[in-house]
Amino acid sequence: MLCWAPRHNDKPFKPKLERRREPALAQQTMHLLEPLSASTPERPRRRGTAATAALAALAAAALSLSACGQDADSAQKSPSSTPPASPEEQVESDAGEVAAPAPRLALTYDGGIQVLDALTLELVADLPLDGFNRLNPAGDQRHVFVSTAGGFKLLDTGVYAVAHGDHAHYYAAAPVLEDGIVVAAETPGHVVAHDDLTSLFDDATGHVTILEADDLDVVTREYDSPAAHHGVAVALPDGQLVVTQGTSEERTGIVVLDASGAQVAESADCPNVHGEAVAAEEAVAFGCQGGALIYAEGAVAFASAPAPEGRISTIAANESSPVALANYSLTGSEAPATSVALIDTAAKAVRTLDLGTPYTNFTVTDEGVGLVLGADGKLHVIDLAAAAETASYQVIDPFEVPAEWQQPRPRVLMVAGMAYVTDTAGQAIHIVDPATGEIWKSGAVSVVPNEVVGVSGEGAGEHDHAEGEDHEDEDHEDE
């Protein structure tokens, strides 16, 4: 529950959130993460790529605690005795130290949320939660916002890092789905985590709440849209706020506000605006009917799609590349979309690439490579700059893309340099080296997975990978 004074349009202030933890987890089936030395994942057969080496390094680090010389058993039983650098970095009493970052996955199913160890794919916690729930990275590589009835709940995955001089200590605890609503919203919508700021949008009111990613108790800014709509907001590090504009009947474009709330740019040339992503040089791209809207270097530009009936509604990007990856469909066509769009935020241009298969979702790696999960069960690798497919890897069996966006479907996401592919029909998750297609590890899950996100456990300041869907996502009114 939030504790703040009555809000004023775009008036920044920093009240604290009341945060309540469930004192007991009797209704939550779980087990704590075992010391990594007790469950070191098998090494991949090929280790020539940076992605595979990065994940293998996490497993190898489990053999000993570096930096402070503690053995793994004693470290797991109690936090480090070395005083942290500041009160904000105090180790929590229920956390045990682990040898290396302990990434975790959170996935939804019909009836709750499961948290998995991202290295072993073993179950860490099963947290009951009724209703259709959506997962959103909170931006600190530890917490996940859960869009549910009444607003946004907070899932603490239990993994984090504490800086200590020239190194860090890593900790793992039992995941906790915090009691009550952390940020109230009549219709919780998009959550955007970017550059240590996390923006939450309430579709029913048009209200935007912006939090500090490394201290989710702190509300840094609020904004009330002129009219309620299914929208999204992006807070930039220079204090600018980019927000969609529209009504419940029509969405038209974006407005850009500076730190004081003054308008610095706007555009109403983006019909059905939906979906966003931040590419290199803080360029923000939005999907439109007929193309994409790009805000960069203080100016807004419209990049036309190859066809006026072409529509972009979901975008993924990484700050390593000026080119964003997006879905691409033709308004009025009943045929499943098989093409993706490549939005060049520097050249202000849109190109398309036909993959020859429908797809469910896509992401962009830290190296600026696009990954698309096709209905053919393959992971399609895209050179974004060249708008070309460079490889495809069979990961799961072919499947039909569900007609309804809320139905479970296979997905791909990036965590700790590796691609994770969920298999709804096979109730499994596969860890894939995106550079070679090698399936590094596979694990069964006890539920049919739907949405999935990952956290690295390495603290705020990292880029949260944005995954995109080949459908209108929450854009219900257009379906």
Residues 399-448: tens digit of each pLDDT: 999 988 889 999 999 999 999 999 999 999 999 999 999 999 999 999 99
465 vs 343, more confident: 343
Q: Where are the domains of the chain?
A: 29-478
Q: For residue 23, what are the contacts with CB-CB under 8 A and spacing of at least 6?
A: none
- The percent of residues in the chain predicted with pLDDT above 70, rounded, is 76
CA distances from 163 to 63, 83, 137, 157, 460 (A): 21, 11, 22, 19, 11
d(CA 180, CA 195): 27
d(CA 439, CA 418): 10
- The percent of residues in the chain predicted with pLDDT above 90, rounded, is 72
29-478 has which fold?
Methylamine Dehydrogenase; Chain H (2.130.10)
Q: For residue 261, what are the contacts with CB-CB under 8 A and spacing of at least 6?
A: 9, 10, 11, 223
Per-residue pLDDT, averaged over 56-80, amounts to 42
Per-residue pLDDT, averaged over 92-121, amounts to 93
Q: What is the pTM of this model?
A: 0.82
The answer to whether residue 221 scores a pLDDT higher than 80 is yes
d(CA 313, CA 158): 33
Mean pLDDT of all residues in the chain? 83
Find where tokens 């974004």 sit: 384
CA distances from 462 to 140, 186, 245, 457, 458 (A): 8, 30, 29, 10, 8
The token pair at 124 is 């860490």
Find where tokens 């020859």 sit: 356
474 vs 38, more confident: 474
8 Å CB contact between 323 and 279 = yes
d(CA 311, CA 329): 5
Position 93 confidence tier, pLDDT thresholds 50, 70, 90: low
The answer to whether residue 357 scores a pLDDT higher than 80 is yes
d(CA 31, CA 128): 15
The answer to whether residue 48 scores a pLDDT higher than 90 is no
For residue range 275-309, what is the model confidence (pLDDT) as tens digits?
999 999 999 999 999 999 999 999 999 999 999 99
d(CA 255, CA 282): 16
Question: What is the per-residue pLDDT for 58?
Answer: 52
